[in-house]
Chains A and B, each alone.
Chain A
Amino acid sequence: MKRNMPPYWMECVLELLLPSRDRETVAGDLREEFTEEKLPALGRFRASLWYLRQVVSFAPRRVAEIAFRGPLLALFCVFTGLAGGWLGVMGILLGHHGRGQRIAAAIVTQALLTLAALYFDGSRVLRVLSMLGSVGTLGLGGSALRATLYGADF
């Protein structure tokens, strides 16, 4: 039965990219098209590529919506990404062991917050996540500043 369905992870990404209103309808439409039309005509690999292309086509709109709804969250995530990247490079260049893992953990946490915010669109949850994201970013930024000014461990 599962062989007739689109790849599970692609369906998950699609649902993540869709607003709650369209989550069931659009995912159902694409699964129907995949199962009844694309899979018999194109085979599993090419049908999966077709499905992936459709999933990706929803991304720009979703990102724009989130950026519009939660500009602070988007800004904080960009800042955290840049700060994390810079700290990571510095950690590698200066050979400080142990920083990499903490930076990676901070970035992963931030990414998870962003993904959760994408899923719970336009709700109180988004505001709470934005707040958590801001606190995390401030913490990261503070640590980065401290490490830069005083050479302290991040």
Chain B
Amino acid sequence: MLTVSRGYVYIVDMAELLGTFEQIVLLAVVGLDEGAYGRAVLREVQSVSGTERSISAGAVYATLDRLEAKGLLCSRIEEGTPSRAGRVRRFYRVTSAGAHALGEARRALEKMWQGKKWPLEVSA
């Protein structure tokens, strides 16, 4: 949440705002819709970020677990395929709380960017 007081902008409840990586993972789940299971999310995150080498499966699954624990994602189990030796798949879906959190994060960033010129001009 952004609060303006005496001309200063304070970011209140910063912990409530999503981190960049959390936003990427949530948006990947949104984009994949019904096909958002672990491997698909991993591939989507790696392709979107364009840095396949630096994003590990551990980071993506840890974020998925954290988002689920926060109630921003929910999951369901479905049967596995022969290529995964019948091991089950976990499909993810963004909850209404997750959609709300994404919206909040976007609004906060847009508000911060208002009036800023791009590319940024900073004095050395």
Contacts and interface: CB of A to CB of B under 8 A. Distances in A.
Interface of A: 22, 24-33, 35-36, 53-54, 56-61
A26 B89 CA distance: 8
A26 B84 contact: no
A127 to B, nearest CB: 24
Interface in B22-62: 37-39, 42-43, 56-59, 61-62
B39 A61 contact: no
B57 A28 contact: no
B61 A32 contact: no
Given A32-B81, A33-B42, A25 B90 contact: yes
B58 A28 contact: no
Contacts of B65: 22
A127 B42 CA distance: 35
Given A26-B38, A29-B42, A29-B57, 11 more contacts: A25-B87, A28-B87, A28-B89, A29-B37, A31-B85, A31-B87, A54-B58, A56-B58, A57-B59, A59-B58, A61-B58
A28 B56 contact: no
Contacts of A56: 58
A53 B42 CA distance: 14
B61 to A, nearest CB: 6
Given A31-B84, A32-B81, A35-B83, A25 B38 contact: yes
A61 B57 contact: no
B85 A54 contact: no
A139 to B, nearest CB: 36
A29 B89 contact: yes
A33 B39 CA distance: 7
Nearest to B57: A54
B80 interface: yes
B56 A32 contact: no
Contact of B61 (A24, A26, A35): A26
A29 B56 contact: no
Contacts of B90: 22, 25
B59 A24 contact: no
Contacts of A61: 58, 62
A22 B81 CA distance: 17
A83 B80 CA distance: 47
Contacts of A57: 56-59
A25 B84 CA distance: 9
